[in-house]
A and B are shown apart, each in its own frame.
Chain A
């Protein structure tokens, strides 16, 4: 059987590569590579050789120009040694080949600022939404209930009933659209996959701390119309085993954490469609 292959990009301030790779392995990927951006820019590692790209959490370039801004600039403008192409061309090829990209936290910020999400009309390099400073003005590490839109095209959330419980860990997670029209279209096309909600996953909330950042419509994560590209502020890789749950010593929990299903669905999709 052909190999399912996932890649996690690290370097310049990415921090969650280890647990993201672990989640990919637990989700079922045959091979998982953590590649430093230097190894990609030097041509040693090529995105073309993988099916699932993880842009994960951290503080790219210290978020010095706003979260992930400097990396978005780097990815758009940096050239790959010896190939004569810019790195962004590898990304474009990856997307047009129908492959999967998951952006988590800083990775979501990166996708949004590169324009890879929500990517209306197949335009993957046009920014129309952003993630900015939390309304509370501070970094927050806390767990949140996320209501999942069952009607979304996301390939990652298939089979989730109600929602999932995950930690957020960010200072710039407030989801904002450039216009009412953008927000309406995101809602209409069911691209707002995750919304901060009450513990029963009944309704999205704007109340702090359930909504930790003041995101518009409580949006915590979105996908592109194809459902193959998705980004979210909460950390699915941080809840793949029950011991990561903040109340595991007092609640009866299944062995697997809520976040694992995203990686299982990714494996499943790759197996069916890409190998």
Chain B
């Protein structure tokens, strides 16, 4: 029988959680409530010694200073309605897991199979609410019904029933474990039904390739030898679907594109990945010659570059969009702890040194109706922010850099980019830290969490558009502590040389991790019955493809296995031997010694012919706004500072620990009041040294409405100029590309596929062109190609988005530069030319236009300027530097000024201009987002030296830092076009998201 332990706050103790819910009910649902209080509920389903439940309740479960507890007796009083919310059976319950462990410490014995502790929260609502209101509060705010269950009771029902019954949400199994065969000798329609209903996300072509494989007499002969029939097993079909999913196989980037440009010129591109991304790296590395610093690119979970003689840097950025759309908290939490495993599972393994996050959302104050199944942007915002907060903070990895980007179309799918960098020894036990290999005979070992039904079909579901029937099981909840324990153990096992190969279990689960590892040595033999399960009742195919979190796969030499397993036990980490690696060319899977899958490795990995993708570029033409010549633009500046894309994100950023590990040098905020927005982050990963790692990013999806070529060029430039601004060295800097696209494959649902595909081609072209000039090798990346919502009537496609991240080095972190102006009297310089380029700008968006004159990157001139600027930084000549991006010069100047607490006075007529005279006006000078520009302040006594270094690199002195706390900008004609008090500018900049 299960028992309920309830824990409530003592009378008079403030209930911060309840207060927050009350605020959210009022803000989101516009319902008035008088009071919300909360109670923690632990349902203990275990046979325990007498008195132990009381001991647990009084000990680990409650805090005697502020809480009271009860056993099998409700504590709730003084409410009108109560809502109890717990997890659905099988969903990761971190609090329940910790509670169970705490009880084990008290009893001295572990729980038996099937026993457990389950956590729930009671919300006591007081106020004039109807039953419908409460239902609305429960489903609209308190409970995500995909992963949670809830019960509502009125105070009357509650007293009649004597509270809630103790029910343990156990996974009910009992179904027979079975392996089914699937008949593929069927019609095409039937093949597609099998794919669709099984969430396999395989196309007809792909189904037919599988069909013909199982008609091949040689294949059938091999199968007969090991006792398998002619039909594929469900294990095989699921395994192929994972391996061949867009998510794992990147079929669009690997496909053959038939591209036609605006002039009708045709071109066949065999694999965008090889033709542009890999080629960029190859060509940049050749160009760098003996200065090449790349160590491991594209072949591992993350890219590796040199840091110094003893250490290498590892970096990876991932997306977790689809799960975050369904369950923002769990999806985002899994996103961050998931990407942590990438650098950790790179080479021999690395220590994680920082996280970065970029989120793209729709307006959290969105007021229009939304299609069913889409969560309100505010809920997504809250959930994602909190998920990444918990994942990052609890893992002890500082979140040093990030962005929030807003566009209405991200209501269709939010983008959740999570990045993690690691530091690895250049050598581990005499071998390069970034290398690893497997020998036939090495044992297959899985460590970390257990396998459940969570995350089944994650890889295939994210390879489709989001729709009403998106599967519930695709969502997982991360558990940072189980992962942290595993990492604590594995990093020590690495140093003792206890394993030979390590990789992450992410999308596709074991089918993907072991499938790829088997590719290293040429085969494997694995028994799924040996994998530890969260609960019984999983079929072999489910075990193979489950994306249950916090697991790593390893190859352990047989002579090391005893030491490895013993150490795992000591560190409280579960490790299981599932089989061994072979070289017989077969992915051989068993269940209780019986073969359930027998797939030739070459068919799994090479069996898929490239997709054929049409692409046709027709440049769009938008309405061109007429320049509004005004005498004063102060109001426009204030509106820009308050706009979602420009305003302060401090309320979010302060929730992320950006200083843990002790190496932060340039933090997210700087300036006199610690609230100016830094351009990039600098951290010292080795506390005994002043060598710093610099990271920054660029993202500008708005420009995609005009041309993705320029969107991409600007994103790359923005990343590098942010990096350069704080003092990053151009000698050692690498890039990562994360493409998030709307589906570019032409189909009934996507008639404009060729246009979207052409956008992808153009983006790749720009990536190559700009990175070549900037000497930026691409070391890793990811693409997510199905960011659409479609419910049969409404289709929402995100704007094509490239997140470009850079990682590099500053030789001496003590030379880093921040964006706040430092003292009155310093000269203000503008580096880079401004042009009539308001197209896609925040300013035009404010006026309801897109325009056409998108900023263009002149990479050659920009690179020379960045090099010169870096010399000035090394010589200590730069007092402050801020990059110009959203909102242009006016916004950058305002931010630098109010961050530093001193005024700036500028003269627009001195701003270097490029292009025709007829576009030269105050509006463009103030707000154009022309690329590659930096606003720099320099002490007067350094100005001569600074100007000498900058030479002809498009640099002009445009003003001065002033004692008066105001921003004064003089028009071409000499009058003040901006005249604003800094406190007021800062106030509007800070107010938009302050309360979120």
Contact = CB atoms under 8 A, between A and B. Distances in A.
B60 A69 contact: yes
B16 A70 contact: no
B662 A246 contact: no
B87 to A, nearest CB: 13
A238 interface: yes
Interface in A98-150: 113, 127-130, 132-143
Contact of B394 (A13, A72, A74, A235): A13
Contacts of B151: none
Given A38-B570, A129-B65, A246-B669, A10 B14 contact: no
B655 A140 contact: yes
A77 B106 contact: yes
Interface in A13-61: 13-16, 18-19, 22-23, 36, 38-39, 42, 57-59, 61
A38 B60 CA distance: 20
A133 B655 CA distance: 13
Contact of A77 (B105, B488, B655, B660): B105
A248 B59 CA distance: 45
A158 to B, nearest CB: 24
B667 A246 contact: yes
Contacts, number: 187
A171 to B, nearest CB: 8
A167 interface: yes
Looking at chain A's contact residues, is the secondary structure mostly helix, strand, loop, or mixed?
mixed
A169 B659 contact: yes
A243 interface: yes
B656 interface: yes
B662 A238 contact: yes
Interface in A235-257: 235, 237-238, 240, 243-244, 246-247, 249-250
B655 A66 contact: no
Nearest to B20: A137
B572 A70 contact: no
A177 interface: yes
A131 to B, nearest CB: 9
Contacts of B657: 139, 141, 169
A132 B816 CA distance: 37
Nearest to B107: A77
A238 B485 contact: no
Nearest to B684: A243
Given A13-B481, A141-B658, A250-B818, A135 B813 contact: no
The number of chain B residues touching the other chain, given as a range, is 35 or more
A180 interface: no
Contacts of B492: 36
B671 interface: yes
B437 interface: no
Interface stretch (B94-102, B139-147, B527-535, B708-716): B94-102
A3 interface: no
A167 B19 contact: no
A134 B14 CA distance: 10
A235 B396 CA distance: 14
A58 B659 CA distance: 12
Contacts of A15: 395-396, 660-661
B481 A61 contact: yes
A16 B65 contact: no
B665 interface: yes
A62 B102 contact: no
B95 to A, nearest CB: 4
Nearest to A41: B570
B571 interface: yes
A101 to B, nearest CB: 20
B404 to A, nearest CB: 16
Interface residues of A, number: 65
B396 A16 contact: yes
Contacts of A128: 65
Contacts of A69: 60-61, 63, 102
A195 B479 CA distance: 35
Contacts of A14: 396
B65 A177 contact: yes
Contact of A243 (B63, B98, B665): B665
A138 B17 CA distance: 9
A92 interface: no
Interface in B60-74: 60-61, 63-66
B940 interface: no
A240 B688 CA distance: 12
Given A64-B99, A129-B65, A135-B16, A140 B654 contact: yes
A236 to B, nearest CB: 11
Interface in B15-49: 16-17, 19-20
A12 B913 CA distance: 58
A169 B660 contact: yes
Interface string A63-75: 1111001101110
Given A238-B662, A247-B672, A137 B17 contact: yes
Given A65-B99, A141-B656, A250-B672, A74 B105 contact: yes
B480 interface: yes
Contacts of B16: 133-137
Contacts of B817: 249
A78 interface: yes
16 contacts: A11-B485, A13-B484, A38-B571, A38-B572, A59-B480, A61-B481, A64-B94, A65-B95, A69-B60, A133-B16, A139-B656, A142-B654, A167-B659, A176-B66, A177-B65, A249-B817
